[in-house]
Amino acid sequence: MKKPRIKAVIDLGSVSARMEIVQATPDGELRPLDSLYQSVQLGRDTFNSGRIGRNSVEQCVRAFRSFATVIKEYGADLTSDVTAVATSAVREARNCDTFLERIYVATGIWVQPIDGATVNRLTFLGVWPLIRSRTKLLEKNICILEIGGGTTDLLGMRHGEVRFSHSYRFGSYRFLETANRISTIRRIESDMARNEINSLLRSINDDLADIRINRLILMGGEIRFVAHRINPEWDEKTLLTVNLASLRKQAQKFFPLNPEEIASLFKMPIEEAQILGFSLLAYTQIAENLSLKQVLLCGATLRSGLLAEAGNPLKWREDFEKQIISSARQSALKYNCDMNHADCVEKLAQMIFREMSNEHKLNKHHELLLRVAALLHDCGRFVSLSAHHKHSRYLIENSDLFGLSRADIRIVALTARYHRRAEPKPTHTDYNLLTREEKMTVNKLASFLRVADALDNLHTQNAAECTIERTESELRFRVDSVSDIHAAQLALREKSRLFEQIFGLTVTPVVTRKRVNHGV
């Protein structure tokens, strides 16, 4: 029988470094062992000066050394049993790399900076079990909101499927540092806070223009703090429904107090006390803006997501892929893509990917990226038919595609960009910025997408049911329609070259000879 393993996840944010240590049983159950917390001042540094100062670096080193001590006491391995991530305060710092290197050299813990998309993905993983446990929620339009130190993340779901995700450069600590730079007078701060929140509300309104949100789930440290005040018995394992009025009342309680008073009254670190009032005000106003009377407070954290993933990665992958594809389809719909064509190309591309699995040496994740690229390859038509592949690239690159990291999105965007016309060239700046490995991935995925797109060149989806045959030198697609085959042959002249160059196989569409029914 497999023994339970110790897993530790660390989340390095703007004001704190937090670690959860759990025991993961072979069947995926997680038993919490330790929960550690250290205040840091990364947000203050990054959002103020753009870089992490020496004192903050050493403060983090001390925090991570402490974490490492506790991890080692459980006999866990710092490399294989620990997942550590850092969010915007580290990611945006100019000295991000040297900072992470310093942490690694001093403590042996490698911290991965993660982007908004990954935060959204982890948030989903953390909060999904709570949503799933309340079946009625699955029918609603749900929005999950977390205001962090540097960014605010918004995730939308309907019928249990992720519909959108957005990250905003709005954070409590980011605001605090701006406010501190301009003025320390409370009144002005208060006006500034409202202006800042209004600006966020405008962005959210734009993004949710045609969506009516029925339920708002709020996450974050400040929310957990308030939830415990509203209901001391709350165990964080369920969603806590509260009236917006109660939340507003709590927010109003803190906003007039200065951070020292909050820290002393509520026994919290000053770094958290500084942002409590502002965060709660922002949460409340967003909920009011959505015309909601109630909100759901959630105890899940980024670490819950990390733990869920670490505890049973396989179980999560399938669920998660569905959500990513669902989110990509929503984006495709938003850009008025021909969804029949998009679905057909996705199917064909996936078929080719699987057929060539022995040759391309790519993994399941790349298959997912190909599918997303296939769904969105024509989204540039929303801007203009002319050079739409180029429009597709920047639209995808600037979208918040749920569940995909920035690096993933870059690959998807370039794959879509190369679905027609020019093949990848070193003179293409964006392509040239990729690593060699990423370039090879884009080349392979683009080659599959080009062939798939060519096969449905007429957007009839007749090729969707094609079958593939392999010979030593040829990849044959057997399709039913003669008209399709001619169009495909023409398209493949332009589009199959990349595939042929990489895999040494020519691509040939052939018509399936149908039995003629001579009966009456």
Partner 1 sequence: MASEKENYFNRELSWLQFNMRVLNEAYNPATPLLERLKFLAITASNLDEFFMVRVGGLHTACKSGRRRRDISGLTPHRQLQAIQRKAREMNRYEYNCFNTIIEPELIAAGIERVTIEKLNPGQHNFIFDLFNEELFSCLTPIRLTTHSRPPLIHSLALYCAVRMQGDDERSDGLALIALQPEERRIIDLPTQRGYQFILIEDVVKTNIKSWFPGQKVKECVCFRITRNADMAVQEDEAPDLLSGMEEVLEERKISDCIRLEVEAVASGTIVKMLQNLVNADNSQTYLQDGPIDLKAFMALTGLSGFEHLKFEVWPPLPNPMVDSKSELIPQIRECDILLHHPYESFDPVVRFLEEASIDPSVIAIKQVLYRTSRNSPIVNALKKAARRGKAVTVLVELKARFDEERNIEEAAELELAGAQVIYGVKGFKTHAKICLVVRREHCGIVRYAHFGTGNYNDVTARIYGDIGLLTCNEDLCADAAAFFNIIGAHTQPRPMRKAVMAPLYLRDRLVELIDLEIEMHRKGSRGRISAKMNSLVDQVLIDKLYEASCAGVKIDLNVRGICCLVPGVKGLSQNIRVTSIVGRYLEHARIFCFRHGGNDKVYISSADWMPRNLDRRFELMIPIESESCRHRILEIIKVYLSDSEKSSILESDGEYTPVRARGDKAIHAQELFYRQACESSTQAARRRTTRFEPHRPAT
User: Which residues make up the interface to partner 1 (CB under 8 A)?
Assistant: 3-4, 6, 23, 25, 31-39, 66-67, 69-70, 72-75, 267, 269
Rounded to a whole number of angstroms, the minimum distance from the CB of residue 312 to partner 1 is 16
CA distance 43 to 197: 18
φ/ψ of 100, rounded to 5, equals -65, -35
In the structure encoding, which two tokens stand for residue 205, read together?
Answer: 């309104």
Are the C-beta atoms of 392 and 417 separated by less than 8 Å?
Answer: yes
Are the C-beta atoms of 320 and 403 separated by less than 8 Å?
Answer: yes
Rounded to a whole number of angstroms, the minimum distance from the CB of residue 301 to partner 1 is 13
Rounded to a whole number of angstroms, the minimum distance from the CB of residue 6 to partner 1 is 7
Count CB-CB contacts under 10 A for residue 519: 4
Residue at token pair 């006491």: 73
> For the CA atoms of 418, 422, 427, 433, what is the dihedral angle to 10 degrees?
0
Q: Which is nearer to partner 1, 32 or 129 (CB)?
A: 32
Q: Which is nearer to partner 1, 28 or 32 (CB)?
A: 32
Q: Which is nearer to partner 1, 270 or 407 (CB)?
A: 270
Buried-exposed string 60-74: b where 16+ CB fall within 10 A, e elsewhere: bbebbeebbeebeee
Q: What is the DSSP string of 145-157?
A: EEE-SS-EEEEEE
Are the C-beta atoms of 289 and 264 separated by less than 8 Å?
Answer: no
Identity of the amino acid at 429 = T
Rounded to a whole number of angstroms, the minimum distance from the CB of residue 5 to partner 1 is 8
Q: Which is nearer to partner 1, 69 or 501 (CB)?
A: 69
Strand ordering across the sheet containing 82-86: 30-39, 16-24, 5-12, 82-86, 111-113
Q: Which is nearer to partner 1, 227 or 413 (CB)?
A: 227
Rounded to a whole number of angstroms, the minimum distance from the CB of residue 164 to partner 1 is 34
Q: Which is nearer to partner 1, 4 or 108 (CB)?
A: 4
| Alpha-carbon torsion (174, 177, 182, 184), positive or negative | positive
Rounded to a whole number of angstroms, the minimum distance from the CB of residue 466 to partner 1 is 51
Buried-exposed string 155-175: b where 16+ CB fall within 10 A, e elsewhere: bbbbebbbbbbbbbebbbbbb
Q: Which is nearer to partner 1, 224 or 420 (CB)?
A: 224
In the structure encoding, which two tokens stand for residue 434, read together?
Answer: 């990729």
Are the C-beta atoms of 329 and 376 separated by less than 8 Å?
Answer: no
In the structure encoding, which two tokens stand for residue 109, read together?
Answer: 């813990």
DSSP state of 138: G
Rounded to a whole number of angstroms, the minimum distance from the CB of residue 36 to partner 1 is 4
Q: Which is nearer to partner 1, 31 or 493 (CB)?
A: 31
- 415 to 244, 328, 398, 406: CA distances (angstroms): 45, 14, 15, 14
Rounded to a whole number of angstroms, the minimum distance from the CB of residue 275 to partner 1 is 16
Q: Which is nearer to partner 1, 65 or 478 (CB)?
A: 65
Rounded to a whole number of angstroms, the minimum distance from the CB of residue 267 to partner 1 is 5
Are the C-beta atoms of 271 and 15 separated by less than 8 Å?
Answer: yes
Q: Which is nearer to partner 1, 67 or 335 (CB)?
A: 67
Contacts of 194 (CB under 8 A, 6+ apart): 281
Rounded to a whole number of angstroms, the minimum distance from the CB of residue 306 to partner 1 is 18
